Structure 1
Amino acid sequence: MHARAVAATATALLGTAALLVPAPDARAGSDRPTVIAHRGASAYAPENTLDAVDKAAELGVDWVENDVQRTKDGELVVVHDDNLRRTTDVEEVFPDRAPWKVKDFTAAEIARLDAGSWFDPAYADARVPTLKQFVDRVELHHQELLLEIKNPELYPGIEQQTLKVLDNEGWLDGPHLDGRLIVQSFSADSVRTVHELNPGVKTGLLGTPAVADLGRYAAFTDQINPSYGSISTSYVASVHAIEGAHGRPLEVFTWTVNDASTARLVAGYGVDGIITNTPDVVRDAFPTE
């Protein structure tokens, strides 16, 4: 995206729903943690594909997580790694293009790749979706989206561009901001940028920052989202004790928990959400009343 276009997009987004704020709690009043399908239901379908979104919906899981990066020609695509080797057949299709970085391929080239056979031959038709395709599929199922901006240092302006796609697809209106969308990143600068561009968007900072540092992140984020092995009851309580960007206690979504016993363990810590490849297993760890 050219600098002039980025600036124009940023200006427009500052005025789009800037006064809207998200719902207080993604758990919607439940004592059970929110269950988020990591890269879709990625234990059962190839990660970050439309099939993984469909599988999460089939399992009755409302929240879906994904990863967003940018192609050589400026298209946002949903893929986790900064290269295409692990989850596509890029080495076979483009053998002379090592190291097969996402940013070195056009959207049309990436669209040619098989993004499913590595997982199971039954998914040979799966493709790396664009962000537009992904959010449209999430919308089709009336699901919620936890969107991760991946490797933002590789893609200057990706925050503005991500918000623009979300806006174009209707995801920055009141109903979506009011509990259906969270944007997260490991980069505090990226999270801060999203908040500054559109303060109505709920945000999350991935990682386990020191308790002493939580206050400065709380100015622009609503969640602290750490790996499950790095947290404790006292850490979660310390996060909850701090008011986030929208005037409510910071939340904790932890990752990546794939078994019932660990799910119950982290729920005992008081986490607000659990990100998992096996969302049915985690959900079923908490019997309904």
Structure 2
Amino acid sequence: MPPKEGMCRTCCRGVYSCHWSRRNDGRRRCTCCWFSAVAMVSLLAASWLYVCMMAFNDRDDFNWKAFESLKRWVNWFMVMVAVYAAIAIYCCLLLLFALFQEAMRDPVDPHCVHKVFLSLAVLLITAGIVGMSCRWADEWHTVYLSLLATGPFLQLGGVVALTVLCGFVFQRFFKAKRAVSKTIIMATFVVLTAAVFLSPLFIKSPCLLEVLPAKPALIGHRGAPMLAPENTMMSFRRSADCGVDTFETDVLISKDGTPFLMHDTTLQRTTDVSEKFPDRANHTSTSFTWMELQSLNAGRWFLKSNPFRTLSLLSERERAAAGNQSIPSLAELLELAKERNASLIFDMKDGDSAGDDTRLVVDTILKSGIRRELVLWLPPKHRAHAQTRGFRQIYSNVSAMLSDGGNLLNLKYNSVSTEELRELKRKNVTVNMWVVNDRWLFSLLWCAGVDSVTTNACHDLQKMDRPDWHLTPSTYRIIWISVDVASLVIMLIVFYMQRRTRERIFCPRDRGTPLLEL
């Protein structure tokens, strides 16, 4: 009668393969294949979840793209993250069960249901990768930037993982019967270990620097949209309270010629136009008169959708104020900028070829009495007309800036490399980057020497008095060499102990006959 097995071992086998008793059907031949398959899918799922988490900074952009296609504002990004997080957790748990099965010398052959789920996980992840590559390709550069920020920590984590797994690898090495198998196992482990140990030679993180640059200034992206409805006066006041020195917005022209603040080409997402003007809900924002625009509520959508999951930061009084906002005119924002001595940067979403919209905007700015050096002119159309008025010119294109002899740039944070950024700084170009919300990204750009960032999260970034991390190159060199040496010593000790254990189990004079069988 076989010995009674422990409850933990029986449950593990049952969950993993749906066989509650030990099988002796020769399935251990598939152990390496299925263990490798589960490990590869788990690594793929964890890596893709990492990509999704690093794209969290641009979740609003993702939701906006989904809104354009589906015409419904939902936090689609968090839905996607939840799905892939569940996949990653499932795959990693399955890998843990596989490791336990292997340690107990049971067949690593998952049940057919697990095989179906693993195949489905691969398909969903592949669909996500293809979708990002086709519709959101610039996000891959964000992933590259995240590796610059997390590279040193990923390397240290890799060293720790190799140290923990070395015992398992050496065990397989000593149990292998053929010389070819031994060679493959050890060569693969040595190459992988050398790659991880020496990878710091190729890590060029901006956060490895001798002298930390000054903290980037903050520009409020449509105000402070995490604390109030975007492009409302409450939003811009909240951003000013957060210490931003520049307001960023978008300007459209109403049907009767009033410049107003609105990002979208329609009013569906940020107003109650579907209730007030149901027959015109899909019409463009510029097809409404200023009186009609003023009649719309531009705040209740914020309370209803909670786009950044930040409503908990608002008091009851602030929530009541947020729900009672209206669409502001450009003139109102100019008055606030004058009052707070803040600069203004804006884009014109629907400038016409004749220049009438530009003329209306320029006239509104001049009538406000704001100091002209506080106006940062971004729209490329009819730039020459704005230049004659004394406004500061800021560009979204490097070649256009150089051809005009300018020195102010407004770029998306993942549109240039850190090397290109440093080259621009050497040419005394002032660089602003948009939209930067996450601490890790702000820290990276701070170390890279960015002058300012446009952000939705001014209340968070304002509190930072230093990057999340930065080290001098010499300090980091000492850390990674010390960790590598410590890991190597532990690996050698484990290898020696495994070898001695193997020698004690097998008696040399009996040429490999186990003592337990004598």
TM, length-normalised to structure 2: 0.43
Shift of 1:264: 1.3
1:55 matched residue in structure 2 = 238
Residue 92 of structure 1 aligns with an amino acid whose one-letter code is E
Aligned to 2:395: 205
Aligned to 2:17: none
Aligned to 2:377, the other structure's residue is in SS state strand
> Are the aligned partners of 1:61 and 1:280 in contact in 2 as well (CA < 8 Å)?
no
CA RMSD in angstroms comes to 2.3
CA distance in 2 between counterparts of 1:130 and 1:103 reads 13
Paired position in structure 2 for 1:260? 439
Per the TM alignment, residue 241 of structure 1 is displaced from its structure 2 partner at its CA by 5.0
Shift of 1:212: 5.7
User: For residues 354 and 242 of structure 2, what CA distance do their matches in structure 1 show?
Assistant: 34
- Which fold has the larger relative contact order, with Cα–Cα distance below 8 Å and residues 6 or more apart in sequence? 1
- Return closer, same or farther for 1:271/1:191 CA change in 2, 3 Å cut-off: farther
**Letter of the 1:235 counterpart:** E
Which structure's CA Rg is the greater one? Answer: 2
Return the offset for 1:125: 1.5
- Partner-residue secondary structure (3-state), 1:225: strand
Of residues 369, 381, 391 in structure 2, which corresponds to 1:189?
381
**Residue 80, structure 1, aligned to residue 247, structure 2:** no
For the residues of structure 1 that align with 2:401 and 2:419, how far apart are their CA atoms?
14
Match of 2:494 in 1: none
Aligned 8 A contact 2:214 2:446 in 1 = no
1:239 counterpart residue number: 424
Q: Which moved more, 1:124-133 or 1:265-274?
A: 265-274
**1:177 maps onto 2:372 in alignment:** yes
One-letter code of the match for 1:275?
A: T
C-alpha contact (below 8 Å) 1:91/1:100 kept by paired residues: no
State the one-letter code of the partner of 1:50.
M
Cα distance in 1 for partners of 2:281, 2:271 equals: 13
Deviations 1:3-49 (A, max 9, x none): xxxxxxxxxxxxxxxxxxxxxxxxxxx92211101100111101110
Structure with more of its chain in helix, by fraction: 2
Q: Is the 8 A contact 1:152 1:190 kept in 2?
A: no
> Do the aligned partners of residues 94 and 79 (structure 1) sit closer, same or farther apart at CA in structure 2, a change above 3 Å counting?
same
Q: Does 1:44 pair with 2:227? A: yes
Give runs of aligned pairs for residues 1-289 of structure 1, distance below 5 A: 31-120=214-303, 122=320, 123-153=322-352, 156-171=355-370, 176-178=371-373, 180-185=374-379, 188-195=380-387, 197-198=388-389, 200-206=390-396, 209=397, 214-216=401-403, 218-219=404-405, 221-242=406-427, 249-287=428-466
SS in 2 for 1:42: coil
SS of the residue 2:462 aligns to: helix
Tell me how far apart the structure 2 counterparts of residues 116 and 83 of structure 1 sit (CA, whole Å). 16
Counterpart CA distance in 2 for 1:44 and 1:155 is 38
SS of 2:248's equivalent in the other structure is strand
| 1:183 partner amino acid | W
CA distance, structure 2, for counterparts of residue 201 and residue 222 of structure 1: 13
1:153 Cα offset (Å):
3.8
Q: Quote the offset at 1:232 in angstroms.
A: 1.9
What letter corresponds to residue 86 of structure 1 in structure 2?
Answer: R
Normalized per residue, the structure richer in strand is 1
The residue identity in structure 2 corresponding to 1:228 is Y
Unaligned 5+ segments in structure 2 are 1-212, 304-318, 468-518
Contact residue 41 and residue 55 of structure 1 kept, 8 A? yes
CA contact under 8 A between 1:40 and 1:52: conserved in structure 2? Answer: yes
Question: Cα deviation per residue 1:91-112 (whole Å; 9 max; x = unaligned)?
Answer: 1111111422111000000000
Contact 1:53–1:138 (CA<8 Å) still a contact in 2? no
Match of 2:85 in 1: none
* Percent of residue pairs identical: 28
- 202 and 212 in structure 1: CA distance in 2 versus 1, 3 angstrom threshold: closer
Paired position in structure 1 for 2:43: none
Q: Is the 8 A contact 1:35 1:61 kept in 2?
A: yes
> 1:61-91: per-residue Cα shift (whole Å, max 9, x none)?
3321111110000000011112111111111
Amino acid at match of 1:129: P
Cα distance, 1:184 vs structure 2: 1.3
- Cα distance in 1 for partners of 2:334, 2:264 equals 19
Q: Secondary structure at the match of 1:230?
A: coil
The size of the alignment, in residue pairs, is 239
* TM-score for the superposition, normalised by structure 1: 0.75
Do the aligned partners of 1:34 and 1:273 also contact (CA within 8 Å) in 2?
yes
Residue in 2 aligned with 1:16? Answer: none
